[in-house]
């Protein structure tokens, strides 16, 4: 019978008093106007892409080169990877939900909408039911929504032509939701 042992973990001495010699404040946004845009599902991307309707919560200090759908377009170089957030106003319930996207490519003003990668959501335990209710098989009901089981939260999806997105617009203003 094997025996599992746990060894002690030692950390270095901690410094109790630390002096900060200088701080810096950097403004990233002009918060005088409300920015609205959609969050569209994009199964062609391998990560979420934060558009103009997002704010940056954290820079990862990593960048990526982003290629377009065609080799005729030059790749965008050194595009930052961030943790970004946007507010979603559910007009059916009146709730405002803050969507936080980790490891998102930040396109900012170069892209008015945000692209959500369904597989990235699924990899993080979120259910994405992309099948519209009217196209669901008779023996399988569709919720046509994004479901976060940890928070018991269901966000409806909308089909506008061929584009699948959150059912309502997103509004960001100085980190707060506005209608």
178 found inside a domain: no
163 found inside a domain: yes
pLDDT in tens, 14-73: 444 555 555 555 555 555 566 778 899 998 888 999 999 899 999 999 999 988 777 888
The stretch 81-110 carries a mean pLDDT of 87
Residue 2: pLDDT band (50, 70, 90) is: very low
CB 127 within 8 A of CB 146: yes
Q: Please state the three-class secondary structure of the chain as a single string.
A: CCCCCCCCCCCCCCCCCCCCCCCCCCCCCCCCCCEEECEEECCCCCCCEEECCCEEEEEEEEEEEECCCCCCCCCEEEEEEEEEEEEEECCCCCCEEEEEEEEEEEEECCCCCEEECHHHHHHCCCEECCCCHHHCCCCCCCCCEEEECCCCEEEEEEEECCEEEECCCEEEECCECCC
Q: How many Å apart are CA 161 and CA 144, to the nearest integer? A: 15
133 found inside a domain: no
Q: What pTM did the predictor assign?
A: 0.71
The stretch 152-160 carries a mean pLDDT of 85
Q: Which of 29, 80, 35, 88 is nearest to 58 (CA)?
A: 80
Give strand pairing partners of 84. 56, 101
Tell me how many domains the chain contains: 1
120 found inside a domain: yes
5 found inside a domain: no
pLDDT in tens, 102-139: 999 999 888 989 999 999 999 989 999 998 888 888 88
71 found inside a domain: yes
20 found inside a domain: no
**Between vectors from CA 64 to CA 24 and to CA 43, what angle results, nearest 5°?**
120
Q: Look up the domain containing 47 and give its range.
A: 35-125+158-172
153 found inside a domain: no
């Amino acid at each position: 019978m094997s025996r599992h042992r746990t060894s002690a973990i030692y950390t270095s001495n901690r410094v109790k008093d630390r002096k900060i010699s200088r701080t810096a404040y950097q403004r990233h946004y002009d918060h005088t106007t409300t920015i609205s845009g959609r969050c569209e599902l994009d199964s062609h991307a391998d990560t979420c892409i934060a558009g103009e309707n997002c704010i940056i919560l954290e820079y990862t200090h990593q960048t990526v080169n982003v290629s377009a759908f065609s080799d005729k377009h030059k790749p965008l170089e050194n595009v930052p990877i961030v943790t970004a957030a946007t507010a979603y106003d559910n007009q059916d319930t009146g709730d405002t939900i803050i969507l936080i996207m980790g490891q998102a490519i930040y396109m900012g003003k170069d892209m008015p909408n945000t692209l959500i990668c369904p597989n990235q959501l699924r990899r993080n335990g979120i259910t994405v039911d992309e099948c519209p209710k009217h196209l669901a098989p008779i023996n399988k009901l569709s919720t046509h929504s994004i479901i976060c089981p940890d928070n018991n939260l269901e966000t409806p999806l909308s089909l506008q032509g061929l584009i699948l997105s959150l059912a309502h617009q997103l509004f960001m203003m100085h980190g707060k939701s506005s209608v």
